[in-house]
Structure formats: structure tokens, C-alpha cells
Structure 1
Amino acid sequence: MAFKTFLTAGAMALTLAGLAGAQTLEETLALAYNSNPTLQAERARVRATGEGVIQARASWLPSITASASITRRSIDGVNFFDESNAITPQSYSLNASQAIWRSGQISGGIDQAQATAYAALENLRAVEQSVLLDAATSFMNIRRDATIVEIRRNNVEVLNAQLRAAEDRFEVGEITRTDVAQAEARLSAARAQLTAAQAQLSVSRSAYARIVGQPSATLSEPPALPTLPASVEEAENIALDFSPTLRSAAFSEEAATAAIRVAQGAMGPSVSLSTGVSANRNSGGFTVGGDSETASIGVQASMPIFTGGLNRSRVRQAGYSADAARQQVFVARRLTLENVSNAYNNLLAAQSVIVSSREAVRANEIALDGVQQEAQVGLRTTLDVLNAEQELLNARLTLVSAERDAYVAGLALLQAMGLLTAETLDLPVETSDPLNDGARDNVDLTPWN
């Protein structure tokens, strides 16, 4: 499969320089992976679901119970506390039972529990990737917003200088009061935009702290993304194999199919082996009867004859649920393909905007320099200079946003394909299967193929 790298570190050359000791994107993602409460809750939920596999398998294992009782009784009219006039019966028993045949209920229940556990595990993978995308997005948002704050702060300084120059030229009669008023208006607007940009930066930092679990430090430039597919068709083929949403839906269908076997098994016979031993002891002044010991072993069989249509209704219900789960696989497939297409096209659009914005910045820098020189000799007005500065400012802001959008779109494409994982991103974290050991045995991991 042919791959190519769409984004490089150079494509993310934001003006906010990474300082020595700055926090990296990998460190941010590792913090979110290890501490995000949403992710921790989902891991606990997977472990809880995995216990269902152990519980289902326990139905094939023998069940052993022990019991004991001791009672103190006295004869009517006899002192209760007189040891010679009281009896103390004691009984002990040990019973065991072993399922021999359940008409497919146990095996169906085990398959259902395994498939349900793996559907939960795929949901966990989806949550992990969503959290990682949110953390990376907040990381990029802070870098973008910090850069925008610096650009707007620089714009305020430029307009301050422009206003002072306009006032000096007005004093000597080179320009009119209108030119000064225009410079003042642009400066006031620039100050308001700077305040708004600073507020947006604070919002992004708050979102970062919520997702990652700690305030943001100085953030370094992000690394290059992993290689991405060369076409949307390649991305879609990868997503059909690795999308956790699709895989979870497929496992849910498998669980629903196994539930049919469980419901059908309730209509068939069941056979179990039971055995037990018991002992009775009598002691006291008035002993009634002697001690006894018994042992038993037997086979018990049962078969439902009439349940008022209950079992047949449960079979039909399980069948309808399986049909619904099967349709959810198609829904998940369509949604996966849509997400891949959207992310891929967003990436292409952002890359196109980057190219155009870089050219716009270059052209507007040349244009501003020319307008400023023409204004000095009276060929341009103060408004012309202000407009040229505004156009350059807009181009720079568009470029900053486009670079952020392209990087986030690349991450969103990885998520849509099911590849935005700790392993793919080479994060410094320990990954583990939250399911119990052995829960993955004999489970088909690709039931949709």
C-alpha cells in the first residue's frame, strides 16, 4: 500500500517558538492517556464487563456448598440451663452439583459474554482515541491562540506607532484630522481584538487543563504526523479493518446472535449431576435417636413442557435484537466511511488554505511596503496604509489557523481510521488489556470480514 507524508514539522511552523524544556505534544498525550477520568472510567467499565466472561464460564464448573447447624433445646418443665436436661442436635452437610447438559445455554452465554466484553473493549479504544484527539486539539488550540495573541499585540504596537506618526504629520499639516481619526479607530478596534484573543487563549487553556489534568506549560512545536494514506480509498479500507466503532458494532452483533442460542436453550432439556454427604449428631441428657450419616448421588433432568409462550417469546425477542444489532453494523460502517471522507477532505482543504495563505502573506508584505513608501510621498492616504496593514494581518491569522486545522485534520483522519492510538503515536506510556487474562481466548477478532 502506497503511503505518503502529507504533513511535516515544517508545515506547522507557527510563530510561537518552542523553548528549551517546553512541554511536547507526546508528553501532553501521555498525561491525558494516564490520568483522564473519562478514560479511567471506561477502563473500569471494561473490567466490569470482562467479569461477565468469568461468570459465564463458571456455569460449566461444579458448584459446592457446605452447611452446618447446631441447636440447643430443653424439655418442657426442665431447667433450660441444666446441661443434663438439654439436647443439642448438630447437622453437617456438603453438597455438589455439576451441569452436564443445558441445551446450549451455557456455551451461548459464554460466547455472548466474550463478545460483549470485546465490544466494550472496542468502545474503550474509541474513547481512548477521542481523548487523545481532544488533548492534541487543545494543545494545538493553545499554540494557535498564543500565536494570534502575539500577532494582535504586535498589530496594536504597529497601530500605536501609526497613530503617533499620523498625529505628527497632522501637526505639520501634511494630513487632516480625518486621517488621525481613522488611525485612532483602527487602534481601538485592534485593542478590542487583542482582548478577545487573550480571552480565547484563556478558554483554550481551561479546556487543556480539563482534558489533560494540569495547566499548560510552554508548548513546543508538535512532531510530524505518522504517514497518512495517499487516497481516501486507502483510508477507507484501513478504517474498515481498524475502526473501533465498526468493530464494536460487529462484536455487539455477535453477542446478540449468541443470545438467541441462550433463549433457545431454555426450551430444551437440562441435565445435572448432584452428590452430597450429611451427618447428624445428638448430644445431651435427653438424647432422642442416634447419630446418623448419609451420602447420596443422583442425576436430575428437567424439561419445560408449557410456559405460556414465555420461552418462544424470548427466542423471538432475541432474534429481533440480533436483527437490530446487524443493522447497527451497517450504520457503523456508513458512519465510519463518512468520518474518513470528511477528515480526509478537511485535511486537503486545510493544506490548500496553507498554500494560499502563505502566498497571501508574501504578497501583502510586498504591498504594505509599497503603500507605506507611496504614502510618504503623498501618493497614498493613511487609510490606504491602514487597509494594507489589515490585509496582511488577516492573511497571517488565516495562515496560523490553517496550520492548526491541517494538523488537527490529520489527527482526525487517524482517529477515523482507528489508528490514533498510543502505539501509533509512540507515546511513552504502558498499554495493557483491561480485560482479565484469557478473556480473549477463542474469540474471532474480525467477525465482520
Structure 2
Amino acid sequence: MRLSHFLAGVSAAGLALPAIAQAQAPAAVQAPAPTETLREAMVKAYNTNPDITGERANLRATDETVPIARAAGLPGVNSSASYNENLYDSDGSGVGSPRTGAAGVSLSVPVFSGGAVRNSIRAAETRVEAGRAGLRTAETQLFSDVVAAYLDVLRDESIVRLNQQNARVLGVNLQATRDRFEVGDLTRTDVAQSEARLAISESQLRGAEAQLISSRENYIRIVGTPPGVLAPPPPLPNLPVNPDQAVQVALAENPSLDAASKLRDASAYDVNVARASRLPQVSVGVGGDYYNRFGGVGTAGRLAGLANDGFATSAGVNLTLPLFQGGRPAAQVRQAQARQSAAIEQVTATERGVIAQTRSAFAVYQSALRVIESSKLAVSANRLSLEGVRAENSVGTRTILDILNAEQELLNSQVQLVQAERDAYVAGFAVLAAMGRAEAQDLGLDGGPLYDPLANYNRVRRSISDWRDNPKPQAEATRTTGSPAQTPAVSGPVDPVNPR
């Protein structure tokens, strides 16, 4: 199952409190319908995020290295024009002309360059392929950032709701404690404990609200628009069953490793380019000139055979055979070989990083799944514990402090569950990203055509025009200066399925 299939629908799995609340809540407190899905957020980021649009521009710049390298092996045509006025000549015999104008055209055709041009072109083409892999890496990173930002907002909205509910419950507890104090059933200590716990819950709520604002602002930074009512994310498909399977796929398909391998290959061509500087260079040249003396040829000059104007042509072969260059070619070869060694080591370093990243993400994913299971049990147990403590308090075997502690334990387990659900989803997507299966073509985004890196390359790779510029660059990414400052407001029921 492709990622495009998983993004096509919405499931109640993963951070499910909003979805369950909508399904189970009474009609009067139904949660608002979602206004944005994870797919839609990815489409927005793909089309408007400045990081990805900048990477596309960098790739277009890399595309131009191919025609630049090809130009060194193509014929060159130059024109020249001159005008000279003879102001004074002590040896003047009257035969020459006091003024002369000339215009000429010359053609030079490289014949042999020791393989420098051929290897430069191959190196440039290989670096273009590396750039495409780099763009894939940027897409993967962008979508991972979108998933994290999306899930952060959902998580923090749930935590704010839980803290709001906790504050309301503690407020009711405080009022009940005061009423029982008034009739002498409880002591001033019980009231103070309830007041302190309410104050703590309100401070926790303020912290949760600040974190929600931060997550929403980060969402705007990545996606480009404020988050609306976010739909629960769909389940992740085809996750590997063990880290070895994930690593095996990652080593074959991870774009970062592909880019490093291409750069290694390009560095080998650079060594051949450096070696070419020690070999002969051969070129063929032809030229033609028209000259005019503007009627300045006198009688003596005409008698001597000089004309007022005429044509001159030339042709020749140029051979340059380096004999001694002060050790520069050898130094350039050694330098290129050292850079090739660095590129080879970089492949190994990238491979290590991919393996570690994949295994770590898989471990975090598995750990979060286990935390989800234990947190669900903890929530259920703490809810039963709270009910029992309240019942025992009504018959005098439990204190107000026992109730307050039970309330806090329930809140802690609920927050832990929400956090674990977020961590599991983000880590699961990170596993897919490390495996090279979280790119635009994998996601099947339908917000318009996908960016085609081959289009620009095919357009420019054989361009030989000296005047074929691109239009003036314009900003592609959208700005967020008009986005309103985010608030911690949340809508919908808090937890109607599991009321306290």
C-alpha cells in the first residue's frame, strides 16, 4: 500500500481523542468538522514552503553546470573591430595611410583537450543527479516537518483540553470542599489543599496554552497558513516488521545515500579533468578581416600596390604541448584525488547515519507503541481509582488529598497517552522517510502537478545561445506576515467519552 493511499482517507486511529469525541459526544457538544487534513497540509507546504522552493532553485543552478561544461568543447566565434589614426610618424614615407579601420571574424574549434571537456561534462551530469537526490531529501525532510508540526498541534490541543477539564473539575472540588467546610464536615487544611491544587492546575493550563501557541506558529512557518480544525491523521501503511527490514530498504532507496554516492562518482571524473592539464591541447582556427584606409592611400602608396580597402583570411592549427608548469598539474591531480577520498568517506558516513537514523526511528516507534498500551491501561486504572477514592471519601475512609492525588494521576496518564500517540506517529513516519518512501511521488499529492526536475534540465542541457536568459526571479514561497497571532483557543468537547 502506497503512502498516497494512506493519505487519501482519514482514520480515527492515532491521537484519536478528537475523532472519538466527535463520534460519541451529544449533539449539543459535537466537535466541529475538520477543515484541514494532513494531505492538504502537505500540499500547501510542497507548493509554498521557501525551503523546498529554494532547493529547487539550487538544483536549477546545478543544471547549468552541464551546458557550461559543454561550452568548453564547442566552437567559439569572435568578432573584432578597430580604427587607428596616425598622428605623427618621423619615418613616414608617404606610402602608408594616416588612418586605418578593420573588422574581422574568427572561428576556433577545439579538437583535442586531453579528455578535460568529456570528463567535465560527465562530472556535471553526475552532480545534477546528486542534486536531484538532494531535492528528494529536502522533500522528505519537509514532509517529516509537516507531520511533526501537524501532530504537535493535535497533541497540544488535546493537552489543553485535558488541562481545562482538570481545572474545571478541581474548581468543582474546591467549591464542594468549601461547602463541606462551612457545615463542619471538613477542615481548613482540606480547603487549602484544594486551593493549592487548583492553582497548580491553572499554571499547568497556562503552560499548555503557551505550548499550543508555539506549535501553531511553527505550523504556520512550515505549512504557510494557520491550522484550522485538523482532522486526525490516517494510519501509517506498510511499516517494517523489524529494524533489519527497514535498514535493508533504506540502504537501497534513501535519497541522502544516493546523493552521496553520486558525488563520489563525480569526484572520480574530476581527477581525470585534472590529469588532462598535462596533455596536449589542439584547436583549429579560421579568420577573416576587412580593412579600410578611408581614402588615405596617396599616390605613392597606390604606386606601391596599396589599396584603400580589402580582405584578408587566415587558417591554422594550434598545438599546445605543456612541458613544465611548476608542478601545478600534479598538485591539481593530488587535490582532486584527496577530494575523491573525502567523497568516498562521506558515502560511508552517510551510510552509517542512515542506518542509525532508521534503527533509532524504529526503536522510538516501537517504544511509543508500548507506551501507548501501558498508558491506556494507566488511564483506565486511574479512572477506576478516582471513582473508588471518591466513593471512599463519601464514607469517610479517604481524604480530600487522596482525591486530589487521584485527579493528578489521571491527568498525568492522559497526557502521557496523548504524547505517546504523537511520538509513535512521528517516529513511524520517520521510519518511512529513512526508507526513502516519504517523497512527493510516494505521497501522491493532488494539489497540482508535481515539480519535475527534468523539465529544466532538458530545457538547458543543450542550450548554446549566449542570450537565452531566464525571466527575472520572483518569490515563489508565500509570506506569513498577514497571518494572525495564534491563540490557545480550542473547540469541541474535552473528553465526553471518559468524563471524570
Match of 1:25 in 2: 38
The structural deviation recorded for 1:314 is 1.0
Residue correspondence of structure 1 range 214-225 to structure 2 within 5 A: 214-225=225-236
Q: Which amino acid aligns with 1:233?
A: D
CA-CA distance at 1:190 after TM superposition = 0.2
1:67 to 76, 80, 88: 80
Report the equivalent of 1:81.
Answer: none
Can you list the C-alpha shifts for 1:314-351, whole angstroms capped at 9, x where unaligned? 11111111111111111111110000000011100111
Amino acid at match of 1:43: R
Q: 1:292 to 1:285 in 2, by over 3 A?
A: closer
Question: Distance in 2 between the 1:122 and 1:252 partners?
Answer: 10
Cα 1:285–1:64 change in 2 (3 A) is closer
Counterpart of 1:132? 143
Q: Distance in 1 between matches of 2:88 and 2:295?
A: 11
Structure 2 CA distance for partners of 1:305 and 1:286, relative to 1, 3 Å: closer
- Counting aligned pairs with the same residue, the percent is 39
The amino acid across from 1:189 in the alignment is I
- Partner-residue secondary structure (3-state), 1:230: coil
Q: Which runs of 5+ in 2 are unaligned?
A: 20-30, 90-96, 462-500
Q: Distance in 1 between matches of 2:45 and 2:32?
A: 22
| Paired residues of 1:108 and 1:259 also in contact (CA < 8 A) | yes
Partner of 1:53: 66
Q: CA deviation at 1:35?
A: 1.3
1 CA distance for matches of 2:342 and 2:136? 23
Whether contact under 8 Å (1:19, 1:220) holds in the other structure is: no
Alignment pair present for 1:405 and 2:423: yes
What secondary structure does 1:266 align onto? helix
Q: CA deviation at 1:277?
A: 1.6
Amino acid in the other structure paired with 2:422: R
Specify the SS of the correspondent of 1:60: coil
Q: 1:248-287, aligned counterparts within 5 Å?
A: 248-284=259-295
Maintained 8 Å contact 2:15/2:155: no
What aligned pairs does 1:32-431 form with structure 2 within 5 A after superposition? 32-70=45-83, 89-284=100-295, 289-290=306-307, 291-429=309-447, 430-431=449-450
What CA RMSD, in Å, does the superposition of the two structures yield over aligned residues? 2.3
Q: Distance in 1 between matches of 2:234 and 2:100?
A: 79
TM-score (norm 2): 0.81
Q: Distance in 1 between matches of 2:460 and 2:101?
A: 47
Deviation (angstroms), 1:283: 2.1
Q: What is the CA distance between 1:286 and its match in structure 2?
A: 5.1
Q: Distance in 2 between matches of 1:308 and 1:433?
A: 47
Match of 2:18 in 1: 16
Quick one: distance in 2 between partners of 1:228 and 1:70? 77
- Runs of 4+ in structure 1 over 4 Å off: 70-76, 285-288
- Measure, in 2, the Cα distance between the counterparts of 1:392 and 1:276: 91
Of the structure 1 ranges 141-150 and 173-182, higher mean CA displacement relative to structure 2 is found in 173-182
Aligned residues: 428
Unpaired segments ≥5 residues, structure 1: 77-85, 442-449
Structure 1 residue 107, shift from structure 2 partner? 1.0
* Distance across 2 between alignment mates of 1:149 and 1:440: 53
Q: TM-score, normalised by structure 1?
A: 0.90
SS, match of residue 108 in structure 2 = strand
Q: Which amino acid aligns with 1:68?
A: A
